Structure 1
């Protein structure tokens, strides 16, 4: 019997996925006292960890921080692939690169390069703040994922950290990459690179490199000992040892075969003459036991002698022990000495008497038949043993065939499923291609129609340009004629203007002036030498200080003396405010002519603009107060426009020039650019007073007709009043406010546009005020309402219903 070693040292091998995983081939065997150890696999230490970063700093910051925490002392190298933009923004839209000039594309590429360098510096600063030095590797490619794979090959990158997906896609069950870039790098990157895929600061998946795989296979062998085998040897070797043991004869052979195949084989006993293995005591023809049995069955010697009529011939010892009568399968008979043959083959009971010849012949025939039977039994046993061996081989081959058949069926099923999926994907692809082709056809038709429209539009533009050039020429001609007429009119009116000035000087001499003159030293003392802590306002006109002058709290406005308009604005305000008095006009207390300084009454609540914006956390104005302010502003404008012999147009009406006193009474101020219109200045075509001047004021509140014609009229103040009224209703900025209110009125959702901080507006009055304000904001001044006859008629009853002014806003 072959001796099988009880201990195996199996080294790992890479297994073929198409082979049966249950069949394992040992790489090396050792005896019980010989254990061979493999030298440990040496893994190269990574000196750099590359981190792939993109354009979105917020998305990639978590990946960089994860790499910093898990670098293990390695140096960090930032890896970036820049993808040039194929659409370039220009003039508020985007154009493809192919449609732009080379210098435009070059300038945009330079901007992209600067943005990329700035982004990489921010990534490097993150690493530097963590105390880790960094390198930067970047390239420019039309495809980011292909660029990453190319950089891995160029720089022989052994370890790479990159994002698996956007942070919003992260979940605890996430085990694979989700972004197309990460999937492409996972499949296409060289095998020597180990890639760590991270999402939202968590390691999601690791693709081991080639060196790491070899180390893993060495550390975890695939071939292990069978737990059912007590000796620790593989099943294949154990089967071989059992097969070798079956070649030996005897009871061990029979028991072994019976244990393997689950069959019980009947064996011959040791005292039978047909045993598989011949025995000396049972197969010799002249054994004592056989002859004793024959003696007991035979009659006595004297009976045989008396019954036999012929003389008895004694059998020779050699005849009794002749080979013809012996067992042909006996081996011990031939090996005995000659004396033993005679002693054992001739029992005393036979030699002493005479045996019947017939009985002897029958005995001899029985012996021959027994020998033949033994030979046949032996041949049958050999045939049965061979049949059993063939059956075992057939069973083994059948099991192997079944395993191979099952494996082939499994592969066939997988191939059929893959083929079905491929066909389905092909059908989907064909359907998608058809859809894309249909969309392309529609797009081409749309493109052709757009090209036709563009061509017709270009033709129309050319025609309009020609008409515009003709209109410009005609306009220039009319302007020249107007200038000539204006020169003639100016020359004709010189005498009348001199007469008017003389009349105005006479009337001004009789008009009382309510203001005082102060010295500059008094102004300095009142403002503590113009202390900056006392400054309460500043603008293009100059600065305003809060001061105490002659035991009176005043507001001191210092105009810019170095400006060309400073003295004229100073004189304008002095001439207007020193001669007019109204409850809603600011009170001019005095002036310092030598320094262009005006002294007003101090109003503690600031301007209407400050109150609408709730500056310094002041409480918002109620809707009652806002209606009363609108009525007061209308009253003072009617007063200015209807002065005797002349009309005063403010010209710069806005919330910043409307002051609020302690009782929330509005005061109109800043008359630096106002104009005085006389009755003789009216045009011949209509009776509206006007003054030609350069456009001045604040955009958003300025009358649009001033910009086109340069004519300042009382209707200009009506337009500004309408904008202020809309601001009181909504609390919004003056820019585009008229358009927003017009859309709200058209859609019926004005209530959503009203300023909720003013309280619950009475909706009927709010609608009435909105329509009144929109009439005041008409582009054509002829459509604007008259303040005295139309606007005041609406605001007066509203003011009466709101009550008298009080101290709370």
Structure 2
């Protein structure tokens, strides 16, 4: 088939309306390529969007508020668009072998024929190839029932567009634009002839020429020459008058049949539309119910969130109150403990004031501990036999003695510079009331001989144990325990009111009991000796240096006074001796050099066992600080030294010579007769026996008025605390 020649062709693009039917599309493209050689081809496709959207647009306006879920439909539409593009791309690929340059134009619209007509108008399409169905009786006529879209396009498209209708690869009808027919009104004609009749007829296909005779050709020429015809269309086959009348009659019958079918189809559509409206209304009602339920859930959720927020705020408020209450409770407990301590101190001071008063007479002091005579002291020491002497120093000599069937240590103070008897007794009374597990207990005194009677400890002094370390060395655990005991005693006497200073602390004044518990001796002795003696002794000490002077605070040589820091200095020297077991000469310098070289092991006394190096280094640094010449640079006993020594209290060592507290026999008068346990709060009943307070009160509250021991009736049910026995039990437990 030859190429189509169209007049006034001002563009090189031929538009081909293609559909989803690949076979029909291939026929259209094949015809177009064969008849429009050298032209560009644009594939025009009208794509119907999703049917639900079409349905929504076609339904009543009252349903415009109903919208389906967007996401699934959008996804479906995107998939459909992608499929259409892939199909058009495949059509374009099919045109590539023919050397045709092709493009695509995709328009979305529900009505295909309207989409084509609008595309013609919008894109000024001049050449368009469209598929159509031919009438079986006449090849030059479009079948009404099967080519409604083609008929609509032929009648409604702009006249400036030339349209070729193709059926099964054959041209069945043409609507050609002519400048002379632009003002002609459209009529029922199927074919508009070109103004150039000869050219038009010469380009017709052989199939169309078979239907024409010489008379038809003349008639076509006369119609073409008649410029005043009131029609825009002309047939490509001219029929005679009788055939035309028959065709019109058959067309009327077909039109009536199509109208009847259209009416039936319209009724079916209306019924389907009514059913769809009902379903949509039902779905809308369901949607309204769901939305109401959703709103209720949202309201409930908001209420619950508000309750949760309030609960969290309440919990936070309660937590803050609990924290503040705990802090307040802790402060109250601290205040209570402090008040208890203050109360106990006040009670002791009141008792002392009541005992001694303000009088100057010696009879105003009531001594609560034994007062021994000079004869008893003389007999106890075997007339002060030198073999019974166990020590001698600046403040007198110490004798071992047997006094009233007790082994005691008797301290004989210097005879020079004697004070008044009342002052001596007053000082002794004060010292007798200073009780601590790590202080040597003062048993009594003798004013005639100016002597003090102490408990006797048969385990010797710390000095003697350090001197014979080759025979029986002290383990490092016992050494640390001794240091802890000394520190505890110093803290106690320094915190007393008034403050008590030992002033003569050295290893010979640290005595050990059978359990190697350290006790300080000679407490308060300097206060019993004439004060004028101290300055003279200071010069003597300074002019006669020896190893014992290493324990004396250098500040004492300047101002002649002892301070609490003086005891700290002496404690530091003792601590260095416990760590190293070395002589005093150059001890501080040697330890300092070892620490600077990070070689403390070189100076440690390893006869005491394997030292814990970390804690030992801390103690060594503290000991050196204690030995500072300036007292301001020395550490505090409580906050610095005790915090390091306290953990050593829990350390125990198993040695044959250590006696366990569990193996000691409990004194019988420490045991409550009712519960048979050591008493914590002993109380005296009317029968004269001492009981645990809780046990005796339970006995009396249960209705008994008799003695648990004698079964005799009690004179009264009053109970009196036994302070003396309570103190004795505490001292026994602390040993």
Tell me, yes or no, whether TM beats 0.5. Answer: no
Which protein has the larger Cα radius of gyration, Structure 1 or Structure 2?
2
**TM-score of the two chains, using structure 2 as the length reference:** 0.36
**TM-score of the two chains, using structure 1 as the length reference:** 0.33
